[in-house]
Structure 1
Amino acid sequence: MKRIKILAILILAALALFAGMQFPVHPPPVHPTPPEAGEAAARQQLLGLKLPDPRGQEVKLEQWQGKTLVVNFWATWCPPCQKEMPVFSRLQQAWRERGVQFIGIAVDSAGNVERFADKTPVAYPLLVGGTEVMRLSKDLGNPSLGLPFTLIIKADGQIHARKLGGIEENEMDTLLQGATASPVPKQNH
């Protein structure tokens, strides 16, 4: 009987450990990310995309070349995605004059995105992507293909940070400060 209790405790401990690894209590932190092999091609592919808006008008991401981009992969059925959109709208308004452009790429149908945008207006462009865009997000640092997934791309085209899962306003504000900071010129003495 004692062996059965010990075995049951070991099994429960193993299950708890497995569950903890699969479902972390705290979301992973956001860190500036170093370049990875193959990322440059994926980044160029992303910045070269031509995607339709919800009404079918084609939009080229290259039109925002030279700006700091916040590219958010999302879906209308994703509650964390919906939660961060008002935050992104406020930040778009606050950071627009400093050369920041938010872009939402929906992994959804154009009709769903159009209905969502009619009910929940946002202050930045919403574009419609398909499964190929999700595959691209994997190459950009989203191996689990989860949503929301957000990239901050500096004006020079380098990825400054990436985040899987929802992001809070103060966290995004801090990341944008780092992404848009200009180096301090050296003083000659």
Structure 2
Amino acid sequence: MKKWLLLLALLCSPLSQAADPFWRMSLPDPQGKTQALAQWQGKMLIVNYWATWCGPCRQEMPEMIALQKKYGKTVQFVGIAIDEPVPTARFAKELGVNYPILIGGNSAMNMMRQQGNQQGGLPFTVFFDAKGKQVAQQLGKISHEQLEAQIKKYAR
């Protein structure tokens, strides 16, 4: 009986989200340093898949920069670029991106499909609560109001 209770407690705990393939992934940043996605568990996480050549992606990033500054204690934005490291780093620097940017490659395309983006379109934004559970996603350009609404709903 104790084994079952222990198993049930583990399955219901926030750490059980670590079993999600997303949280086991690691991706390089533009400088080539590998970053584990699990390092951002414990806060609400907003993952934005984007590319430097994607007009709507470029248009929504200033909103994410502003909201990262405003909600940084409880929310973490992470950008996953479907792009090459050099143009990604150059664009992020020009725009003053204040949140981590990772290089996604083929892994990111698979992650997007698993998170509900069957079309593979960009931009694609995924929301995780502080326990690591995916709670929402949006394909296409996202507005400041839509981002704020999700933050107010899921950030703690």
TM range (shorter): 0.7 to 0.9
Matched with 1:87 is: 63
Which secondary structure state, in structure 2, belongs to the residue aligned with residue 69 of structure 1?
Answer: strand
* Alignment: residue pair count: 141
The structural deviation recorded for 1:51 is 1.0
The one-letter amino acid of 1:59's match is Q
Superposed, which structure 2 residues align to 1:95-110 within 5 Å? 95-97=71-73, 99-110=74-85
Fraction of identical pairs, as percent: 40
CA contact (8 A) 2:81 2:102 kept: yes
Task: Give deviations 1:54-106, integer Å, cap 9, x for gaps.
Answer: 11111111111111100000001001001111100000011112x21000000
Secondary structure of 2:77's aligned partner: strand
Tell me the CA shift for residue 111 of structure 1: 1.3
Residue type at the aligned position of 2:137: R
Of 36, 49, 61, the match for 2:37: 61
Alignment of 1:69-84 (within 5 A): 69-84=45-60
Structure 2: 5+ residue runs without aligned partners? Answer: 1-15
2:86 maps to amino acid: G
Counterpart of 1:100, as a letter, is V
For the Cα contact (< 8 Å) 2:43–2:155, is it kept in 1? no
Contact kept? 2:47, 2:80, Cα under 8 Å: yes
Q: Which amino acid aligns with 1:160?
A: V
Post-superposition, which runs of at least 4 consecutive aligned residues in structure 1 deviate over 2 A?
none
In the aligned structure 1, how far is the partner of 2:114 from the partner of 2:70? 30
TM-score (norm. length: structure 2): 0.85
In the TM superposition, what is the alpha-carbon distance from 1:152 to its structure 2 partner?
A: 0.6
Look up the match of 2:9. none
Shift of the alpha carbon at 1:132?
Answer: 2.2
User: What are structure 1's unaligned runs of at least 5 residues?
Assistant: 1-39, 182-189
Q: Choose which of 23, 35, 45 in structure 1 pairs with 2:21.
A: 45
